[in-house]
Structure 1
Amino acid sequence: MTQVVSITFYRFGPVAARLWAFAMMGLARPAMARVPDIGFWKLCGSGTGEGFTPRPNTAVYAIISTWPDLATARARLDQAAVFRRYRVRAAESWTVFLSPQSVRGAWSGVAPFAVSDTQDTSGPLAALTRATVKPGLMRRFWSRVPDISRVIGRDPNVMFKIGIGEVPWLHQVTFSIWPDAARMAAFARSGPHGDAIRAVRDEGWFQEELYARFALLDDTGTWGGASPLRKDTA
């Protein structure tokens, strides 16, 4: 398998641009479905701060897409009209290209990511989790999130982190990039995050969940004025 996953983050400035981006959560769907060679795709909003909050951030949006290979991903993101419209309106955008290394679970009832035949855990890795929270357990779920957010925000090892989602409160996606598998695993097992994972298993918080790990292939654009992947990880 050679599937490539792209995640593009867009930051919008003026109110008019933010209103446009919000409207595109619904209006962009037909155009996204017509992009040649695109596979699975999702339009996502984000939370305030680093994204790990239930309060929407009207400035930051993301598009997750799958492609048959890296060359196709680059070409479609550059040339497709819907992606061009986002770039023109955004004050800043950053795309990361990923190769799926391990996946378990489902997203909207399907398996969106095809694990690569080439396993590469030697460099930086990205982790993505997506869950549909049971409505009756939303309060319990979101009461745990601030503790996790504070811990990941203080972790010197994380290169990038954000919380995004399709539907506020019910659908939550976390995305983070780490220097290596060992430091990613150390965070996942410890502190509030480890406690939350145990609570998910013991109390059954989610109707649907997906966990995926990716090797980083490349990136383009900037976030906060620079590429998060150029951060010194020594």
Structure 2
Amino acid sequence: MASFHLIRYAGVDAMRHMAFDRPLLRRTAGLSFWRLLGTGRGRSMSLGADLRRWALFAVWEGEPALEEFLARSPVAARWGDEAEESWHVRLAPLGSRGRWGGRDPFAAGPSAASVRRAGPARTAGDGPVAVLTRASIRPSRLVAFYRSVPDVDRELRREDGCLASIGVGEWPLARQATFSLWDDETAVTRFAYRAGAHRTVIGRVRGEGWYAEEMFARFTPYASRGTWDGHDPLRARRAE
């Protein structure tokens, strides 16, 4: 299983945690893959950075490993003590393709098979879906990529099926990602493949070789807690 954590601090000095948390995460038992991520100001990948808000994406060997981390890690303890706002969600992988830093995050450790099978059987109309997209952008394609971002961002803001979305990244400009929540798989497919700015960008990515590496993963989001920009987007969706 996996988890995503979005943490907003009171000041920009929170940047130091990006360095100091890494040794602690490397020593965390049962954590098979993780990335600390900065966040953008838009709903998709963007040039603007929010220096007060940071994220962690993590893949765990099982629920007990995540529970131990939340109960005992000084990283998780600081989220409770210092965060101005935080949102956490558990993710059951539905499928993925591609690599992140040369690795398949869901093929790490002894529980790889169970990680891939996690989550209930799904059909196009079943419940909310979380999507993680990640890319290493070739330096020669950076200008073209970022010129395409505003139109995609506007489409996301207008998309009824998108519950929430944020641009995240490991490294300024070239290693970017998005994490988004959707009403269901139908909404994801509609946004990805209908005519519009996003479909145009997908065509250019493939035709012009914008990415040196990419990954696309879908999850069933469950057991969320906390708030993201003042509310839990999954709880609001469940209350409808």
**Normalised by the size of structure 1, how large is the TM-score?**
0.91
The verdict on how the C-alpha distance between 1:119 and 1:49 changes in structure 2, with shifts beyond 3 A counting, is: same
The verdict on how the C-alpha distance between 1:118 and 1:47 changes in structure 2, with shifts beyond 3 A counting, is: closer
Q: Which amino acid aligns with 1:124?
A: P
Mapped contact 1:52–1:146 kept (Cα < 8 A): no
Deviation at 1:68, TM superposition (A): 1.7
Q: Does 1:204 align with 2:205?
A: no
Deviation at 1:51, TM superposition (A): 5.3
Whole-Å separation in 2 of the counterparts to 1:141 and 1:76 = 37
Counterpart in 2 of 1:154? Answer: 158
Deviation at 1:88, TM superposition (A): 1.7
Deviation at 1:218, TM superposition (A): 1.6
**What stretches of structure 1 move > 6 A for 4+ residues in a row?**
none
Q: Does 1:98 align with 2:91?
A: yes
Counterpart in 2 of 1:127? Answer: 131
Whole-Å separation in 2 of the counterparts to 1:55 and 1:48 = 5
Deviation at 1:119, TM superposition (A): 4.5
Whole-Å separation in 2 of the counterparts to 1:195 and 1:28 = 38
Q: 1:88 aligns with which of 81, 87, 92?
A: 81
Q: Which amino acid aligns with 2:232?
A: S
Q: 2:149 aligns with which of 145, 149, 157?
A: 145
Deviation at 1:23, TM superposition (A): 1.4
Q: Which amino acid aligns with 2:9?
A: F
Q: Which amino acid aligns with 1:168?
A: P
Deviation at 1:117, TM superposition (A): 5.1
Q: 2:9 aligns with which of 9, 12, 28?
A: 12
Counterpart in 2 of 1:25? Answer: 18
Deviation at 1:220, TM superposition (A): 1.6
Whole-Å separation in 1 of the counterparts to 2:119 and 2:44 = 31
The verdict on how the C-alpha distance between 1:89 and 1:118 changes in structure 2, with shifts beyond 3 A counting, is: closer
Question: Which sits farther off after the overlay, 222-231 or 30-39?
Answer: 222-231
Q: Percent identity?
A: 34
Q: Does 1:163 align with 2:164?
A: no
Alignment of 1:36-47 (within 5 A): 36-47=29-40
Mapped contact 1:124–1:216 kept (Cα < 8 A): yes
Task: Give ranges in structure 1 of 5+ residues lacking alignment.
Answer: none
Task: Give ranges in structure 2 of 5+ residues lacking alignment.
Answer: 107-114
Counterpart in 2 of 1:179? Answer: 183
Q: 1:72 aligns with which of 61, 65, 71?
A: 65
Whole-Å separation in 2 of the counterparts to 1:86 and 1:218 = 18
Mapped contact 1:129–1:210 kept (Cα < 8 A): yes
Q: Which amino acid aligns with 1:217?
A: Y
Coordinate RMSD, CA, aligned? 1.6
| Aligned length in residues | 227
Deviation at 1:133, TM superposition (A): 0.3
Deviation at 1:66, TM superposition (A): 1.1
Q: Which amino acid aligns with 2:150?
A: P
Whole-Å separation in 1 of the counterparts to 2:118 and 2:65 = 18
Whole-Å separation in 2 of the counterparts to 1:223 and 1:107 = 25
- SS state at 2:234 partner: helix
